[in-house]
Structure 1
Amino acid sequence: MEKVVVTARRRAELIQDVPGAVSSISGAELEKQAMPDITAVANLVPSTTLKVSRGTNTTLTAFIRGIGQQDPVAGYEPGVGIYLDDVYMARPQGALTDIYDLERVEILRGPQGTLYGKNTIGGAVKYVTRKLSPKTTFGVKATVGNYGEKDLVLNATVPLSDMLRIGGSVATFNRDGFGQNVVNGKDNYNKEAVAGRISIELTPSSNLFIRLSSDRTVDDSQAKQGYRLTPGPAPASLAPLENKYDTRANLYAVNGHAQQVITQGTALLAEYQVNPELSFKSVTAYRKSKSFAPIDFDSLGTPLFEAPTIYADNQKSQEFQLTYTGAKIQGVAGVFYMKANAFNEFDVLINFPALGGLAAYTMDDINSRTKAVFADVSYSVTDTFNVNVGGRYTDDQHDARIFKRTYIGLAGSPTLGNPAAAGLSPANTDLGPDALNRTDTKFTPKLGFGWKFAPQHNMYGTASQGFKGGMFDPRMDLTGTGGPNTLASQLKRKGVNPEEVTAFELGLKSSMNGGRLQTNAAVFFTKYKNVQIPGSIITYDAAGNANGFSGSLTNAGKAKIKGLELEAISQLTNSLNVSGMYSYIDAKYDEWLVANGPNLINLARNAEFQNTPKHSGNLSASYDWPLVLSGRSGMLSLMNGVSYKSRVYQTEIVRTGNTPGLDALVPGNLLLAQDAYTLWDASLVWTSADRKVQVGLHGRNLTDKRYKVAGYNFSASSNTVTAFYGDPRTVKATVSLKF
Structure 2
Amino acid sequence: MAALGWGVVATPAIAQDEPRSAGQARVSDIIVVTATRRAQDVQEVPIAVTAVGPEQLEAQAIDDVTDLGSVAASFNFSRAQAASNGIVLRIRGIGTTSNNIGFESAVGVFIDGAYQSRPGVALSELVDVERVEVLRGPQGTLFGRNSSAGALNIVNRRPDLSEYGGFVDASYGNFDQYSLQAAVNMPIVEDQLALRVTGAIRERDGFIGVLDAAGNQFDTTNDVDRYLVRGQLGFATDGGIEGRIIVDFSQDNTSCCGAIELLRSPIESGGLFGLVGLGPRGGMASPIVADSPVDQSSARDAQDNRLVTLSRAPVADIENSGITGEIEVPLNSNVDLVYVASYREYEANESFDSDFSALDAFNVLSNTTSIETMTHELRLQGVGFGGRFDWLVGAYYSNEDILSSPILGLGEDYGELVGATLFGPTGGAFGPNPLTVLSGGFDPATTRTSNLFGQSGESFSIFTHNVISVTDSLDLTVGLRYSDESKDGFFAQSSSNNPVCASLAARVAAGAIPPTLAGPVIGLGCFPLTAPADLPQSAFLPLPQSFDASFEDDELIYTVKLGYQLDNVNLYASFTHGFKSGGINLDATAGVQASNPTFDSELVDAFEVGLKARFLGGRVTSNLAIFHQDFTNFQILEFTGTQFSSFNVPQAISSGVELETVVQVADGFSINTSIAYTDARYPDDCAAATDALAVQNLCGFSLTNAPDLVAILGASYETALTDSFDLFLNAQIRSVSDSRTSTQGRAVPTAAAQLGQTPLSPFDVQDGVTTINVRAGIEQSAGGWGVELWSTNLTDESARGVTFNTALRGGSRSAFMAQEPRMYGVTLRTTF
* 2:422 alignment partner in structure 1: none
Q: Structure 1 CA distance, aligned partners of 2:559 and 2:691?
A: 41
In the TM superposition, residue 583 of structure 1 has moved relative to its aligned partner by: 0.9
* 1:684 alignment partner in structure 2: 776
**Are residue 638 (structure 1) and residue 729 (structure 2) matched?**
yes
Q: Deviations over 1:465-497 (max 9, x none)?
A: 00112212211526764xx4xxxx2xx24x221
Q: Structure 2 CA distance, aligned partners of 1:669 and 1:193?
A: 36
Instruction: Check 1:634–1:597 CA distance in 2 against 1; reply closer, same or farther (3 A cut).
Output: closer
Q: Deviations over 1:326-359 (max 9, x none)?
A: 5211232211000002222224545233335465
Using the size of structure 1 for normalisation, the TM-score is 0.89
Q: Structure 2 CA distance, aligned partners of 1:90 and 1:422?
A: 30
* 1:290 alignment partner in structure 2: 347
**Are residue 269 (structure 1) and residue 326 (structure 2) matched?**
yes
Instruction: Check 1:731–1:601 CA distance in 2 against 1; reply closer, same or farther (3 A cut).
Output: closer
**Are residue 467 (structure 1) and residue 579 (structure 2) matched?**
yes
**Are residue 70 (structure 1) and residue 97 (structure 2) matched?**
yes
* 1:86 alignment partner in structure 2: 113
* 2:520 alignment partner in structure 1: none
Q: Deviations over 1:563-619 (max 9, x none)?
A: 111111110111210110111111222355599999997224364301211111100
* 1:611 alignment partner in structure 2: 705
**Are residue 330 (structure 1) and residue 390 (structure 2) matched?**
yes
Does structure 2 conserve the Cα–Cα contact (< 8 Å) formed by 1:529 and 1:559?
A: yes
Q: Deviations over 1:165-196 (max 9, x none)?
A: 11211111111221332236122222221111
* 1:321 alignment partner in structure 2: 379
* 1:408 alignment partner in structure 2: 498
Does structure 2 conserve the Cα–Cα contact (< 8 Å) formed by 1:560 and 1:588?
A: yes
Q: Structure 1 CA distance, aligned partners of 2:245 and 2:59?
A: 28
In the TM superposition, residue 667 of structure 1 has moved relative to its aligned partner by: 8.1
**Are residue 387 (structure 1) and residue 480 (structure 2) matched?**
no
Q: More displaced, 516-525 or 606-615?
A: 606-615
In the TM superposition, residue 240 of structure 1 has moved relative to its aligned partner by: 3.1
* 1:221 alignment partner in structure 2: 254
* 1:498 alignment partner in structure 2: 601
Q: Structure 2 CA distance, aligned partners of 1:65 and 1:622?
A: 27
Q: More displaced, 705-714 or 5-14?
A: 705-714
Does structure 1 conserve the Cα–Cα contact (< 8 Å) formed by 2:698 and 2:745?
A: no
Gaps of 5+ in 2: 1-25, 275-279, 288-301, 420-434, 436-442, 501-529
Does structure 1 conserve the Cα–Cα contact (< 8 Å) formed by 2:83 and 2:316?
A: no
Sequence identity, in percent?
A: 24
Equivalent residues in 2 for 1:644-659 (5 A)? Answer: 644-656=735-747, 659=750
Does structure 1 conserve the Cα–Cα contact (< 8 Å) formed by 2:748 and 2:758?
A: no
Q: 1:120 aligns with which of 144, 147, 161?
A: 147
Does structure 2 conserve the Cα–Cα contact (< 8 Å) formed by 1:94 and 1:262?
A: no
Q: 2:570 aligns with which of 452, 458, 483?
A: 458
Q: Which amino acid aligns with 2:379?
A: Q
Q: Which SS does the other structure have where 1:353 is aligned?
A: helix
Q: More displaced, 157-166 or 289-298?
A: 289-298
Equivalent residues in 2 for 1:51-70 (5 A)? Answer: 51-56=78-83, 60-70=87-97
In the TM superposition, residue 68 of structure 1 has moved relative to its aligned partner by: 1.3
Q: Which amino acid aligns with 2:696?
A: N
In the TM superposition, residue 321 of structure 1 has moved relative to its aligned partner by: 1.1
The number of residues matched between the two structures is: 701
In the TM superposition, residue 668 of structure 1 has moved relative to its aligned partner by: 8.7
Q: Deviations over 1:55-107 (max 9, x none)?
A: 53886421112221221412211100011110000012232222211111110
Q: Which SS does the other structure have where 1:29 is aligned?
A: helix
Equivalent residues in 2 for 1:231-246 (5 A)? Answer: 231=264, 233=268, 234-235=273-274, 236-237=280-281, 238=284, 240-241=286-287, 244-246=305-307
Q: Which amino acid aligns with 1:642?
A: I
Instruction: Check 1:261–1:9 CA distance in 2 against 1; reply closer, same or farther (3 A cut).
Output: same
Q: Which amino acid aligns with 1:531?
A: F
Q: Which amino acid aligns with 2:729?
A: L
Q: More displaced, 34-43 or 357-366?
A: 357-366
**Are residue 250 (structure 1) and residue 311 (structure 2) matched?**
yes
Does structure 1 conserve the Cα–Cα contact (< 8 Å) formed by 2:249 and 2:322?
A: yes
Structure showing the higher helix proportion among its residues: 2
Q: Structure 2 CA distance, aligned partners of 1:557 and 1:11?
A: 36
Gaps of 5+ in 1: 411-420, 539-548
In the TM superposition, residue 136 of structure 1 has moved relative to its aligned partner by: 1.9
Q: Structure 1 CA distance, aligned partners of 2:687 and 2:364?
A: 29
Instruction: Check 1:245–1:95 CA distance in 2 against 1; reply closer, same or farther (3 A cut).
Output: farther
Segments ≥4 residues shifted beyond 6 Å: 594-601, 665-668
* 2:805 alignment partner in structure 1: 713
* 1:310 alignment partner in structure 2: 368
Q: 2:227 aligns with which of 177, 183, 194?
A: 194
* 1:518 alignment partner in structure 2: 621
Q: Structure 2 CA distance, aligned partners of 1:49 and 1:317?
A: 27
Q: Deviations over 1:689-716 (max 9, x none)?
A: 2222222111100010011123442468
* 1:129 alignment partner in structure 2: 156
* 2:678 alignment partner in structure 1: 585
Q: Which SS does the other structure have where 2:766 is aligned?
A: coil
Structure showing the higher strand proportion among its residues: 1
Q: Which amino acid aligns with 2:820?
A: D
Using the size of structure 2 for normalisation, the TM-score is 0.79
Q: Which SS does the other structure have where 1:286 is aligned?
A: strand
Instruction: Check 1:714–1:178 CA distance in 2 against 1; reply closer, same or farther (3 A cut).
Output: closer
Greater C-alpha Rg: 2
Does structure 2 conserve the Cα–Cα contact (< 8 Å) formed by 1:259 and 1:292?
A: yes
Q: Which amino acid aligns with 2:69?
A: A
Q: Deviations over 1:432-458 (max 9, x none)?
A: 54xx11210111221110012x31321
Q: Deviations over 1:405-458 (max 9, x none)?
A: 865289xxxxxxxxxx9947347444454xx11210111221110012x31321
Q: Deviations over 1:115-174 (max 9, x none)?
A: 223241110011110011222223211101111111111211211112211121111111
* 1:543 alignment partner in structure 2: none
Q: Deviations over 1:378-431 (max 9, x none)?
A: 111111111111111000001111125865289xxxxxxxxxx99473474444
Does structure 1 conserve the Cα–Cα contact (< 8 Å) formed by 2:590 and 2:645?
A: no
Calculate the aligned-residue CA RMSD, in Å. 2.9
**Are residue 560 (structure 1) and residue 653 (structure 2) matched?**
yes
Q: More displaced, 654-663 or 89-98?
A: 654-663
Does structure 2 conserve the Cα–Cα contact (< 8 Å) formed by 1:607 and 1:652?
A: no
